[in-house]
Amino acid sequence: MRDLRVSVTDRCNFRCVYCLPETDQAANFYRSKFDPLKNPTPIKLALPPSQPKSQILTFEEIERVVRIAAELGVEKVRLTGGEPLLRQNIELLVGKLASVPGLKDLAMTSNGFLFNRKAQALRDAGLTRMSFSLDSLDEANFKKMTGREGLNEVIRSIRLAKQLGMNPVKINAVVIRGLNDHELVALVRFAMAEGVQMRFIEFMPLDSSRGWLRELVVSGREILEQLSNHFTLEPVVSTQPSETARRWKVNGTESEVGIIAPVTEAFCGHCNRLRLTADGKIRTCLFSLGEHDLRGLIRGGADDATIQRRLREIVWGKEDRHHIGESEFEQPERTMSCIGG
């Protein structure tokens, strides 16, 4: 295990259709796709409850877990949420983590809406990479997908991250059939113009409404076929076997496109990720049905050696794969906003 995703909050200021689809537009989209004969379960439209502040790990507790994990071989940490920039004084945590011995890479995934307010402080504290969610370049469709206006703010954030020398800057787009699958080419052209990397992600069953339908998944193969009709793509040979994205360089440019296809082309066998939730639970997979409590150990006075032993036990029990699309698949109780991407 070399990669630790750290969720710093389970709160978010967006209501994305694939995560927290709690808007009328999102509900109407799902309802228009549902076949009540095939999918009799009604769509649930209720936000998952957020944890009280007392249950959320402090910066010092997060730093301790990261330090112990780094001693066991973790080299990369990505701060996630919810929306991580909603956590007050997040730059102080970045500063603490940037000085952890053995940590080689410190990044953040954000919707970008608040990035402008914290960008310089985050960079000064030691944040080196940013990934931004951008699912649409059309203002109306952006609002439909995210539940709010904010396209211009996200674009400004992408440009500011580039100006501050963060490298690479990535754009993540979750592709949903009938919603934004017609914008793939436009998103690649935008990424080329901005000098950032583009990542397309298959739609996964991690939404709070339980509205995910297999028919709405645009497969990685379909995405590649659509892009290949417009661009000459050269495969990039990865030197990291645990990499989740298959990547291509757009011929004649420095731009790169990646496709992350966990539904149709699972990469479970070489996954090297662990996830720490905002309330101190370790998840060994996005689709884990169980979680492992570290907060209780930390606040119960456990020493570092005890926490190390527990982390080793957890890693040895990591699932061999997920079961999306199989009859026994069960969607996790907690949604993406609570797990951390």
CA distance linking residue 59 with residue 8, whole number of Å: 9
Amino acid at 120: Q
pLDDT recorded at residue 127: 98
CA distance linking residue 106 with residue 108, whole number of Å: 7
Given a cut of 70, is residue 227 above it in pLDDT?
Answer: yes
pLDDT tens per residue across span 63-83: 999 999 999 999 999 999 999
pLDDT recorded at residue 326: 62
**Quick one: CATH architecture of 3-339?**
Alpha-Beta Barrel (3.20)
Given a cut of 80, is residue 319 above it in pLDDT?
Answer: no
> Smallest Cα–Cα separation from 243: which of 282, 276, 199, 286?
199
Q: Where are the alpha helices (DSSP H) in the chain?
A: 24-33, 59-71, 90-98, 115-125, 139-146, 151-163, 184-194, 220-228, 295-299, 304-316, 336-339
pLDDT band at 341 (very low <50, low <70, confident <90, very high): low
Sign of CA dihedral 300, 302, 304, 307: negative
CA distance linking residue 12 with residue 338, whole number of Å: 10
CA distance linking residue 105 with residue 66, whole number of Å: 12
Overall average pLDDT of the 252-265 stretch: 89
pLDDT tens per residue across span 108-117: 999 999 999 9
Overall average pLDDT of the 234-257 stretch: 86
pTM higher than the cut 0.85: yes
pLDDT recorded at residue 50: 82
Output phi, psi for 17, to 5 deg.
-65, -25
Count CB-CB contacts under 10 A for residue 193.
9
Angle between helices 151-163 and 115-125 (to 10 degrees): 20
Range with the largest mean pLDDT of 29-38, 150-159, 208-217, 316-325: 150-159
Given a cut of 70, is residue 28 above it in pLDDT?
Answer: yes
pLDDT recorded at residue 286: 80
Output phi, psi for 157, to 5 deg.
-65, -40
Alpha-carbon dihedral 148, 278, 115, 205, rounded to 10 degrees: -40
Angle between helices 139-146 and 151-163 (to 10 degrees): 90
Domain ranges for the chain: 3-339
Q: Are 166 and 194 in contact (CB under 8 A)?
A: no
Given a cut of 60, is residue 136 above it in pLDDT?
Answer: yes
CA distance linking residue 178 with residue 340, whole number of Å: 26
More confident residue, 327 or 131: 131
pLDDT recorded at residue 41: 55
CA distance linking residue 261 with residue 271, whole number of Å: 13
pLDDT band at 35 (very low <50, low <70, confident <90, very high): low
pLDDT band at 1 (very low <50, low <70, confident <90, very high): confident
Given a cut of 60, is residue 260 above it in pLDDT?
Answer: yes
pLDDT band at 60 (very low <50, low <70, confident <90, very high): very high
Count CB-CB contacts under 10 A for residue 201.
23
pLDDT tens per residue across span 285-294: 887 878 899 9
Overall average pLDDT of the 303-330 stretch: 82
More confident residue, 273 or 193: 193
pLDDT recorded at residue 206: 75
Residue keyed to tokens 């199989």: 326
Count CB-CB contacts under 10 A for residue 114.
18
pLDDT recorded at residue 336: 75
High-pLDDT (> 70) share of the chain, %: 90
Q: Are 53 and 264 in contact (CB under 8 A)?
A: no
Q: What SS3 state is found at 283?
A: strand
Q: How big is the CA angle at 213 (ends 221 and 317), to the nearest 5 degrees?
A: 80
Mean residue pLDDT of the chain comes to: 89
Q: Are 285 and 274 in contact (CB under 8 A)?
A: no
Residue keyed to tokens 């905002």: 278
pLDDT band at 327 (very low <50, low <70, confident <90, very high): low
Given a cut of 70, is residue 268 above it in pLDDT?
Answer: no
pLDDT tens per residue across span 151-171: 999 999 999 999 999 999 999
